[in-house]
């Protein structure tokens, strides 16, 4: 009877107002059988981390098109640590230049998906790398 | 330290973890719930229900703000549908409320229905209990968008608010059975629309036909424009009135008795089923019985009687005269 279902937060931090990509990814997560909590637009890192903890998600995914990725990703990771939830992984995507990716991964981001990635590839990565907590 | 102790000390992370364990049906959650149950019974539980798109989440957001202005701590259980095909869900109620996410006095939890009918998830009652024990003053339960027959909320909430919008149908829709029978308060939201008067009138007419006896609660019909915050103060005032009404009559005892009956009977049914089912699955009796029923060698009624007789004998129930 007990069955863990994967819970993922899909968040749109920062000031860009385009969430079509985030919605498509959320929809494809739903179709993969995951429970997706969508926060809506223009969320601060504080709001995202608070939602992640209250919702007990297995990962935080963020879509960033504004160019602020080098600030927002590390800030969310730092806040998760501060709030006692350092084990919640963070991944994401958006318009992120290739040269910024190594720095983000070094800062603790699990994976970055750039434009053109298929939803299937994202789902497969999630299934292989994100697991419901014990 | 056990989760229950951490929850009683108000730890958010521990609360969130137990809520997940309950929703996922983990056996370990039962022990924690046993410890928390004696601490429940203090919170005020407010139900918000209504059809999809009526503005339940937007109204909930405003109601949260109103209670926060009074300095009360507010927990929200927001339920959205789970896909019957994939088991996945997009839980989007937070979108309308996430401005409260960084307020320590607000805890929002999204749930999928996970196949449960009735407008709530199977876990809702237990999740409300956890918030109650953890000392949250107000617990708002926002149901999935309901049609006509999803009325479980009345067994969970002290006060149920049914949110309607103009243009949902004629006065015949308003006299059908179902969610219109359960409202302690009715809100016609988006009341700045031209056909709002008609919607209010239809609801009022339907309610007048109910004709509650003298001294009983008469559900009011209110107008709101939740997005602009209009009518919210009046709504909170009426919720207060209903709460006072409940406390001053024997209604609250009846509510508690009904709620306890439902919880006990649901648990009893689930556990009996699950124990017998586990046993006959493991022994192979389940497969044999189903095969025999399919071949018409055995009827399903006798099959259940035989299996129950075999299993209930073990419990040694005393005779009742």
Q: What is the pLDDT of residues B123-137, one digit of tens each?
A: 999 999 999 999 999
Q: What integer pLDDT is reported at residue B174 of this predicted model? A: 57
Mean pLDDT of A32-47: 95
Q: What integer pLDDT is reported at residue B180 of this predicted model? A: 78
pLDDT at B175 over 60: no
List the helix and strand counts (H, then E) for chain A: 5, 5
Q: Write out the residues of chain B at the interface with chain A, using a CB-CB cutoff of 8 A.
A: 12-13, 16-17, 19-20, 24-27, 82-83, 86-92, 94-96, 98-99, 101-102, 107-110, 112, 114, 274
Cα(A90)–Cα(A76) distance, integer angstroms: 8
More confident residue, B313 or B116: B116
CA dihedral (B252, B258, B260, B266) in degrees, to 10, reads -160
Residues A55, B92: C-beta atoms closer than 8 Å: no
Mean pLDDT of A18-31: 93
The answer to whether A50 faces chain B, any CB pair under 8 Å, is yes
Residue B301: Cβ-neighbour burial (10 angstroms; 0-12, 13-18, 19+): exposed
CA angle (B144 as vertex; B142, B149 as ends), nearest 5? 110
pLDDT at A93 over 70: yes
CB B47 within 8 A of CB B153: yes
Q: What integer pLDDT is reported at residue B235 of this predicted model? A: 98
pLDDT digits (tens, 9 = 90+) for B81-112: 999 889 999 999 999 999 999 999 999 999 99
β-strand partners of B107 = B75
The confidence band for B146, taking pLDDT boundaries of 50, 70 and 90, is confident
The answer to whether A26 faces chain B, any CB pair under 8 Å, is yes
Q: What are phi and psi of A69, to 5 degrees?
A: -60, -35
The confidence band for A77, taking pLDDT boundaries of 50, 70 and 90, is very high
pLDDT at B147 over 90: no
CA dihedral (B48, A36, A130, B114) in degrees, to 10, reads 60
The confidence band for B207, taking pLDDT boundaries of 50, 70 and 90, is confident
For chain B, give the mean pLDDT: 90
Q: What integer pLDDT is reported at residue B167 of this predicted model? A: 83
Q: What integer pLDDT is reported at residue B314 of this predicted model? A: 57
From chain A, the residues in CB contact with B96 under 8 A are 40
Cα(A56)–Cα(B122) distance, integer angstroms: 18
CA angle (B235 as vertex; B233, B239 as ends), nearest 5? 120
Residues B88, A84: C-beta atoms closer than 8 Å: no
The confidence band for B320, taking pLDDT boundaries of 50, 70 and 90, is low
Distances (CA, A) of B166 to B169, B197, B199, B203: 8, 8, 5, 11
The answer to whether A34 faces chain B, any CB pair under 8 Å, is yes
The Cα of A13 is separated from the nearest Cα of chain B by a number of Å equal to 12
Place of tokens 């005779």: B319
The confidence band for A17, taking pLDDT boundaries of 50, 70 and 90, is confident
User: pTM, whole model, 2 decimals?
Assistant: 0.91
Q: What integer pLDDT is reported at residue B179 of this predicted model? A: 76
Q: What integer pLDDT is reported at residue A15 of this predicted model? A: 85
- Which of A2, A26, A83 lies closest to B24 in CB terms? A2
Cα(A18)–Cα(A67) distance, integer angstroms: 13
Cα(B225)–Cα(A6) distance, integer angstroms: 36
Place of tokens 């994202």: A122
From chain B, the residues in CB contact with A56 under 8 A are 16-17, 19-20
Q: What integer pLDDT is reported at residue B271 of this predicted model? A: 87
CA dihedral (B152, B154, B160, B163) in degrees, to 10, reads 30
* Complex ipTM value: 0.93
The Cα of B38 is separated from the nearest Cα of chain A by a number of Å equal to 24
């Amino acid at each position: 009877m007990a069955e863990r279902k994967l819970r993922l937060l899909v968040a749109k931090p920062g000031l860009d107002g385009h969430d079509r990509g985030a919605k498509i990814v959320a929809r494809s997560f739903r179709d993969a059988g995951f429970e997706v909590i969508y926060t809506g637009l223009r969320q601060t890192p504080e709001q995202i981390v608070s939602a992640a903890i209250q919702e007990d998600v297995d990962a935080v995914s963020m879509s960033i098109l504004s160019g602020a990725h080098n600030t927002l990703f590390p800030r969310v990771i730092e806040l998760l640590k501060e709030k006692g939830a350092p084990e919640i992984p963070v991944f994401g995507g958006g318009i992120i230049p290739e040269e910024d990716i190594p720095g983000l991964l070094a800062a603790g981001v699990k994976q970055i998906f750039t434009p053109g990635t298929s939803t299937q590839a994202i789902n497969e990565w999630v299934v292989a790398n994100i697991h419901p907590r014990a | 330290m056990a989760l229950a102790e951490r929850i009683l000390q108000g730890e958010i992370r521990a609360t969130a973890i137990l809520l997940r364990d309950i929703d996922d049906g983990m056996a370990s959650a039962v022990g924690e719930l046993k410890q928390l149950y004696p601490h429940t019974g203090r919170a005020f539980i407010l139900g918000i229900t209504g059809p999809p798109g009526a503005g339940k989440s937007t109204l909930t957001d405003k109601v949260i703000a109103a209670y926060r202005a009074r300095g009360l701590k507010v927990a929200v259980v927001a339920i959205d549908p789970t896909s019957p095909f994939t088991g996945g869900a997009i839980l989007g109620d937070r979108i309308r409320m996430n401005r409260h996410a960084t307020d320590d006095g607000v805890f929002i939890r999204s749930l999928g229905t996970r196949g449960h009918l009735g407008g709530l998830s199977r876990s809702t009652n237990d999740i409300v209990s956890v918030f109650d024990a953890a000392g949250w003053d107000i617990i708002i339960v926002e149901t999935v968008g309901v049609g006509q027959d999803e009325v479980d909320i009345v067994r969970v909430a002290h006060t149920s608010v049914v949110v309607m919008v103009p243009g949902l149908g004629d006065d015949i829709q308003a006299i059908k059975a179902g969610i219109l029978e359960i409202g302690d308060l009715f809100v016609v939201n988006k009341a700045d629309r031209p056909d709002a008067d008609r919607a209010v009138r239809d609801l009022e007419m339907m309610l007048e036909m109910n004709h509650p006896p003298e001294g009983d609660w008469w559900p009011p019909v209110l107008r709101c424009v939740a997005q602009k915050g209009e009518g919210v103060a009046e709504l909170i005032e009426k919720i207060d009135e209903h709460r006072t009404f409940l406390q001053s009559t024997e209604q609250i005892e009846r509510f508690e008795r009904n709620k306890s009956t439902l919880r006990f009977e649901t648990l009893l049914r689930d556990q009996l089923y699950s124990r017998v089912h586990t046993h006959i699955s493991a022994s192979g009796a389940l497969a044999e019985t189903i095969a025999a029923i399919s071949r018409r060698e055995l009827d399903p009624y006798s099959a259940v009687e035989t299996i129950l007789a075999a299993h209930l004998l073990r419990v040694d129930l005393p005779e009742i005269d």
